[in-house]
Copies of this chain bind each other. A is one copy, B any other.
Amino acid sequence: MTVRVGVLGATGAVGQRLIQLLDPHPEFEIAALTASDASVGETYKDAAKWRVNSPIPEDVAGLEVRATDPDSVPDDVGLIFSSLPSSVGAEVEPEFCEAGYTVSSNSSNARMDEDVPLIIPEVNADHVDLLEVQRDERGWDGALLKNPNCSTITMVPPLAALDREFDLTDVRVSTLQAVSGAGYSGVTSMEIIDNAIPHIGGEEQKMESESRKLLGSFDGAEVQLNEMDVAASCNRIPTLDGHLENVWADTAEDISAADAEAAMESVTGIDLPSSPEKLITVFEEPDRPQPRLDRNVEDGMGVAVGGFRETTDGVQFNCLAHNTMRGAAGASVLNGELLNKRGYL
């Protein structure tokens, strides 16, 4: 049974990636697209200045753009993907949930709310049942599920592999993030050519809190945050796609570089259509992964790691993922697939 889906914020950078992934999706069928008021009534082709590196899907190009409110979306839509600016998401997503829609959201609002599951299916799929708590507390017919920030998604799968076996105590992470992470117009060329910007507003905090929730434990009632200490330093650099991160992971158990690699190698994907066969690809060359060369590993849904070195208190390594695919649109689609599999749609 195909699920009819809607996309909120369909004309933005992540919205376009969502269309690219959903158009040929085996379980989902695009039924409704929304955008800001200025575009309502236009065809999607006219409203979206399509910039993705594959042609705009023909059957989507002619769809009429709808307003971003529950009344404008057909009742038979079974799942909503949301990629709205967080201030809009904070206002609109609860309205959709109250109206009975289930929302898989990439927007940053509400990610740390106690009754909102924050999910990377390969890492903490079990947290999805926090939705039961959510429904009880909020009285919604619908439901709200979040994926983390793109920079968080890049480091958490490898951290999860380490935490499972070696018990993380402290994490330090420095990011080299691509400009697409700020949206199509988020970083001007004057800001970034021959430059780097050592700060991305709110990003450090997101990485620090979201990672502890993702690696936390869910007991059926609440998520206990992981007790590890996380400190992040986020930088924007002149790359188009792919967030590269330097990580120091201190562990309670003894660990060598080889141990860390072996832990990564042992990670497997899960049985969801968009989960890659190999969630983590280990590079042996010390100068890999690199954004331009490796961001499309596993069709953009994998995480690439390399550069393992033992430190006094643990290991250091580098990780990389495609920020608008695995880090955003692909993450939301995966969460939608999880909801479908677990019977939440």
Contacts and interface: CB of A to CB of B under 8 A. Distances in A.
Number of copies of this kind of chain in the complex: 4
A193 to B, nearest CB: 6
Contact of A231 (B184, B190, B288, B312): B312
A239 interface: yes
Contacts of A287: 197-199
A318 B197 CA distance: 10
Contact of A198 (B170, B188, B246): B246
Contact of A244 (B53, B194, B196, B307): B196
Interface in A180-233: 180, 184-199, 201, 204, 229, 231, 233
Contacts of A197: 287, 290
Interface string A306-331: 11010111001010000000000000
A231 to B, nearest CB: 5
A286 B306 CA distance: 30
A195 B235 contact: no
21 contacts: A174-B174, A176-B198, A179-B189, A179-B193, A184-B190, A189-B189, A189-B192, A194-B194, A194-B240, A195-B239, A195-B293, A196-B239, A197-B290, A198-B307, A199-B286, A199-B318, A229-B313, A231-B248, A231-B311, A231-B312, A233-B307
Interface of A: 13, 51, 53, 170, 172, 174, 176, 179-180, 184-199, 201, 204, 229, 231, 233, 235, 237-240, 244, 246, 248, 286-293, 296, 306-307, 309, 311-313, 316, 318
A188 B196 CA distance: 15
B199 A238 contact: no
Given A189-B192, A198-B288, 16 more contacts: A170-B312, A170-B313, A172-B172, A172-B248, A174-B174, A176-B196, A176-B237, A188-B189, A189-B193, A197-B290, A198-B244, A199-B286, A199-B307, A231-B248, A237-B237, A237-B238
